[in-house]
Amino acid sequence: MTLRSNRVGEQMKKELSDIIGRKIKDPRVGFVTVTDVEVTGDLQQAKVYISVLGDNDQRQDTLIGLAKAKGFIRSEIGRRIRLRKTPELFFEIDKSIDYGNRIEDLIHELNKKDSEDQE
């Protein structure tokens, strides 16, 4: 990714957080955090990574709600960020947070087992 696409991605991350948090009224869209935005070098597409508080059903409902609101979100981004063409948005669940939590749990288990073995 180029410096410009990184800048556009960071700006989109800020704006998307505000739009999803304040403007989207869909009840399927729960508590969503935008964790990252990857914009292609030609600024045509943007992959938006989100984290959703809840179980898998709530995550899927949130993705469906965001897919329905994609046109509105894209038009809002176009108004807020001056670009020749607003990137097409693709929403994905950020799995890195779950992966990090799993590793942390494993480390705690190992430490607990190690302290039990020493006693």
pLDDT, tens digit, 9 for 90 and up, residues 67-93: 999 999 999 999 999 888 999 999 999
Give pLDDT, residue 1: 62
Give pLDDT, residue 82: 86
Across the chain, which has 119 residues, the per-10-residue mean pLDDT values are: 86 93 87 92 93 87 92 92 91 86 89 79
Give pLDDT, residue 19: 92
Contact 64, 3 (CB under 8 A): no
- Ramachandran region, residue 54 (left: φ > 0; alpha: ψ -120 to 50; beta: rest): left
State the Cα–Cα distance between residues 17 and 14, nearest whole angstrom: 5
Reply yes or no on domain 3-94 having CATH 3.30.300.20. Answer: yes
Q: With b meaning 16 or more CB within 10 Å and e meaning fewer, what string describes 92-102? A: ebbeeeeeeee
Give pLDDT, residue 75: 92
pTM above 0.75, yes or no: yes
H or E segment to which residue 46 belongs: strand 45-52
Neighbours of 88 (CB within 10 A): 12
Domain assignments of the chain as residue spans, ordered by start? 3-94
